[in-house]
Structure 1
Amino acid sequence: MAGDRWFASDNNAAAHPRIMEALLKANAGHAVGYGDDPYTARAEAAVAAMFGPGAEVRFVLNGTGANVYAIGCFAGGGEAVLCS
């Protein structure tokens, strides 16, 4: 291995070549944003096929957004989640 590796964040490393290839393939033409596009529909169908028709997809920007959304699903009004 060349040099030290740090696992502080997924933002520290380059994207895997297969990810970049998929992004380049998807970056053609126009796609309506905010969930009204064929990519969102395909992701929703894949999740429903894997987990059942009641499964839902929630796209967020990053891991922090996913954590905040998930915690918000469990904490009610006036409640909090403490992490250390």
Structure 2
Amino acid sequence: MRLFAETAYRAAGFKPAKVRSMGRGMLRMAGLFMPGAKESIEMLYQFERDFIVDSRKFSERFGMLATPIEEGVASAVEWFRRQSG
């Protein structure tokens, strides 16, 4: 998530992102006031280990390559700017 946030901020021309994490206890406490924080607890396992994303099998089967994160984020930022005028 840190890499994604830093890439998105850079593509949008913003200052570097300040990414911080909240532990399970802090999420529980914040969940008393913020429903989104409370709901995040059950999904926390997704952020406790690295995601391994491997497009090799897809690329071999369909002959397509994955878009590099920098290119995809830059394209999304450009689209958003066009949409928001």
Relative contact order, CA 8 A, sep 6+: which one is greater?
A: 2
**What TM-score, normalized to structure 2?**
0.24
Q: Which structure has more helix as a fraction of its residues?
A: 2
> TM-score scaled to structure 1, two decimals?
0.25
